[in-house]
Amino acid sequence: MKKIFYLALAASLTLSSVSTTFAKGVSVPNSTNKTISQPNKINTKSETLITSKAIKTKANGIEVDIKIPVINGLKDKKVQDKINVDLEKASMEYKSTVESEAEFAKKEGYFNNNFSIHSDYKIHYNKGNLLSITISSYIYTGGAHGMTYVTNFNIDTKSGENVSLKDFFSPNENYVDIINKAVRDKIASTPNYYFEDIVQRFKGILPDQPFYIENDNVVVYFGLYELAPYAAGIQEFKVPFKSFKNGVKTDLNFRKDAIKVSSKVVDELELGYRGNLRIPVIKGLKDEKMQTAINSKFEKEALEFNNKLKKDGMDYAKECEKLKIEQRDFFGDTDYYVYQNHNNILSITVLYEQYTGGAHGSYNKTPYNIDLKTGKEITIKDVFKPGVNYKDIINKEINKQIDVINKKADTIQIQGFTGISENQDFYINNGNIVVYFQPYAIAPYCMGIQEFTISLDNFKTMVKPEFLVK
Instruction: Please give the Cα distance from 445 to 404 (Å, whole number).
Output: 20
pLDDT on residue 25: 32
CA-to-CA separations, 377 to 278, 348, 367, 425, in angstroms, rounded: 21, 11, 10, 12
Of 151, 157, 158, nearest to 133 by C-alpha is: 151
Give the HSE-up count for residue 134: Cα atoms under 13 Å, Cβ half-sphere: 21
Give the model's pLDDT for residue 47. Answer: 63
> What are the distances in angstroms from CA 299 to CA 10, 208, 266, 281?
15, 17, 10, 8
CB-CB contact of 383 with 353 (8 Å): no
3-state SS string for 429-452: CCCEEEEEECCCCCCCHHHCCEEE
Q: How many CB atoms sit inside 10 A of residue 366's CB?
A: 17
Whole-model pTM: value is: 0.73
Closest listed residue to residue 65, CA positions, set 137, 154, 3: 137
Nearest to 218 by CA among 239, 246, 248, 188: 239
C-alpha closest to that of 137 among 116, 161, 113? 116
What was the pLDDT predicted at 255? 65
Residue 293 to residue 370: CA distance in whole angstroms: 12
CA 181, CA 328: separation in Å to the nearest integer? 28
pLDDT at 116: 93
Please give the pLDDT value at position 27: 32
Q: What is the mean pLDDT of each run of 10 residues along the chain (470 residues)?
A: 35 34 32 40 58 93 94 93 95 91 90 90 94 94 85 93 89 91 94 87 89 96 88 92 92 74 91 94 93 97 97 95 93 94 94 93 97 96 96 97 87 87 94 96 93 95 90
For position 30, what pLDDT does the model report?
33
Rounded Cα distance between 463 and 470, Å, is 13
Helix (H) or strand (E) holding 274: strand 273-283
Within 10 A of 358 (CB to CB), how many other CB atoms are there?
Answer: 7
